[in-house]
Structure 1
Amino acid sequence: MLSIFSEADSDFDQRRPFWLPYNQVCLPIIHEGYLTEITEIGSKLNYYLLSSTCLLRLSQGSDFIETMAILKWKRVIPFTDNKELLKFGFKIGHSDNYKTFYVDNEEDLNRWIDKLSLVGIMDNIEKDYLIVNEIGRGSFATVFLAIDSTNGKKYAIKCFSKFELCNRKNGIKQLLTEIEIMRRLDHPNIVKLFKIYEDYDSVYLVLEYAEGGDLRKKLSICKRFSEADAIGLIQKLLKVVEYMRSLNIVHRDIKLENIFLVNSDSNNDFKLGDFGLASECENFLEGKCGSLGYVAPEILLGMKYSFNVDVFSVGVVFFSLIAGRIPFLGKTTNEIYNKNLNCNIQFNEKCWISINIQTICMIQNLTTKDPRLRSEAKHALRNQIFHKPQDESNYYSINLSPLSYLLTKTSNECHFVESQADHQFYLNELNIQVLYYSQLPQSTAITNSAIS
């Protein structure tokens, strides 16, 4: 089967030559050194710079960058040729459009390949990794535990069938988007993409491995998280959402199964993974996607939506950690759909009796049906539940501002306001009735009966 990356590379510009004029848009340099390039008229020794997207060629005898090659979807093939004077080298490109480079020795070759593997597409995954066993299976891919053949480190390898990608609507496009987004991400609580491989049948993503398993598995063992552990994890997760927003990225599938604990003993040291539904977002997105039970109502309604769909999913995770279950349960898909759409979350189970009212109100706010009333991640992070006082004995007796909370009669929801301007927005723009509380009673559940 043809390389899907070859097609992606040619689709970018079929007339594009390998070397292009330098346009000064490349990212920081990750490697540099001398290479002997094979040209149509012989060989030429030049100094090259490698960025996270491009290979840059300097003019001979100067520091002037002459040309650049975009490596985004190009294959990188190392080789050793014992018949030639120059033995160690690599090829970059596809089919009949390769460029060949040589280095002086095997050590130089290994250094170049180590860095090029972060930029291009590699082959021969069986040589580099030992597959141990299957650890996960989704709708579009299978995940395996693998060990690096050179250093014994563990990785998760996500395997996609090229046949299934080609036969699924937008399958290849979604994979390319997933790769592009993951290559941009660099955050301690996001699964890191290390390398990409392709062979005749499959595409492989070499990913950071989190040994603790996903949060759904963790909850099946521990049943519930303590309030403190849940708050600690959600604080980090909101920071991840805010980080993605700073890069104009929406995940669109935040759920227990996509949050992986670094080890089994940790309750909030995690990695967010599975960016198969992620998308770049300048203003608004359209199209239904996500996992039922975690999806923001505006997606289910077919409305245009933005970054706050991830905030809604974080709120569902928050509820689930404390309750030990997702808030929208049902015997049929249609029942779950309707509960998810209506967002009528109840806090009348015994586990909520000891939970701080501020925590309950935060969950209500994050899962508000109307996205205009839902806090952005950066605003939610300012809430005092994420900034406990040094004296934890005073945690439940903090004096609240008269505008700290709004309990709305019209929607049975709890919202946070941080300023008089926010207060006026609720009253004037949305025209809702509110009740003010300067201090709410401890451990009071926000339910329909609490707002009459």
Structure 2
Amino acid sequence: METIGKGGFCKVKEADVRVFRELLKKSTGERVEVTGMQHMAVKVFNRNVLKGQKTSEFDPFTGCLKMSDQLQSIMEEIKVWERNSNPNIVKIFKLYNDPTVPEMYLLMEKAQYGQIQIDLEGGDYLTKRNAEIEVVAVAKAGVHWPQGSGTDLEKASKWIFYQVAMAMEYLHSELKISHRDLKHQ
């Protein structure tokens, strides 16, 4: 499986649904029910690393800081994520969390066009704009690119920003949560 992203606590791999379905069936006997997709994203977490990372959150009900480990925080996040029905937020399908193995696998929808910016050579600050997303944004925003002026880029950028804003509005108003880790990519 090819690594398509990474974060502080996990790696994200691209998986062929058919291949992953067979691997999972052989190793656990479980079936993956994902229809209409050829590829999906699999977040791979190391449970031992997560247990060792402490985090704190403000509890609005008690007015105190609540300490927990990162594993507990991620499990709570997944519970919220399971309630998602917004088309601007990727869906999750299943969490495979076998305590006898160190890794947890979160099967999720793969964003069709990937990130807005793509890392070059794995560098932290070396990125380029994702041209495929630009093409889609320009088409959806109804502008003509690349012959147009900077105004076309502004319209396409506004369209992308609007999609992100609608997803954030959904998180805040429907799920009653704040994202707290939104990145420019």
TM-score (ref. length: structure 2):
0.61
Contact 1:214-1:256 at 8 Å conserved across structures: no
The yes-or-no answer on 1:210 pairing with 2:111 is: yes
AA partner of residue 139 (structure 1)? G
- 1:408-437 deviation digits (Å, cap 9, x = unpaired): xxxxxxxxxxxxxxxxxxxxxxxxxxxxxx
The yes-or-no answer on 1:239 pairing with 2:166 is: yes
Contact 2:92-2:108 at 8 Å conserved across structures: yes
Aligned length: 126
Computing the radius of gyration from Cα coordinates, the structure with the larger value is: 1
The yes-or-no answer on 1:179 pairing with 2:179 is: no
Question: What's 1:227 paired with?
Answer: 154
The alignment's C-alpha RMSD in Å is 2.4
- 1:104-155 deviation digits (Å, cap 9, x = unpaired): xxxxxxxxxxxxxxxxxxxxxxxxxxxx211112211011111222577211
11, 17, 40: which one pairs with 1:155?
A: 40
102, 122, 128: which one pairs with 1:201?
A: 102
Provide the C-alpha distance between the structure 2 equivalents of 1:193 and 1:135, rounded to a whole number of angstroms.
Answer: 17
- 1:34-68 deviation digits (Å, cap 9, x = unpaired): xxxxxxxxxxxxxxxxxxxxxxxxxxxxxxxxxxx
AA partner of residue 140 (structure 1)? F
The yes-or-no answer on 1:166 pairing with 2:56 is: no
Quick one: higher RCO (CA 8 Å, sep 6+), 1 or 2? 2
Contact 2:46-2:104 at 8 Å conserved across structures: yes
AA partner of residue 242 (structure 1)? E
14, 21, 25: which one pairs with 1:145?
A: 14
What's the offset of the Cα at 1:216?
A: 1.7
236, 247, 255: which one pairs with 2:183?
A: 255
What's the offset of the Cα at 1:189?
A: 0.3
Provide the C-alpha distance between the structure 2 equivalents of 1:181 and 1:216, rounded to a whole number of angstroms.
Answer: 26
SS in 1 for 2:9: coil
What's the offset of the Cα at 1:226?
A: 0.5
AA partner of residue 128 (structure 2)? S
Provide the C-alpha distance between the structure 2 equivalents of 1:136 and 1:142, rounded to a whole number of angstroms.
Answer: 6
5+ residue gaps, structure 1, are 1-131, 258-452
- 1:79-104 deviation digits (Å, cap 9, x = unpaired): xxxxxxxxxxxxxxxxxxxxxxxxxx
Provide the C-alpha distance between the structure 1 equivalents of 2:171 and 2:112, rounded to a whole number of angstroms.
Answer: 24
Provide the C-alpha distance between the structure 2 equivalents of 1:238 and 1:137, rounded to a whole number of angstroms.
Answer: 23
TM-score (ref. length: structure 1):
0.26
- 1:378-408 deviation digits (Å, cap 9, x = unpaired): xxxxxxxxxxxxxxxxxxxxxxxxxxxxxxx
The yes-or-no answer on 1:135 pairing with 2:135 is: no
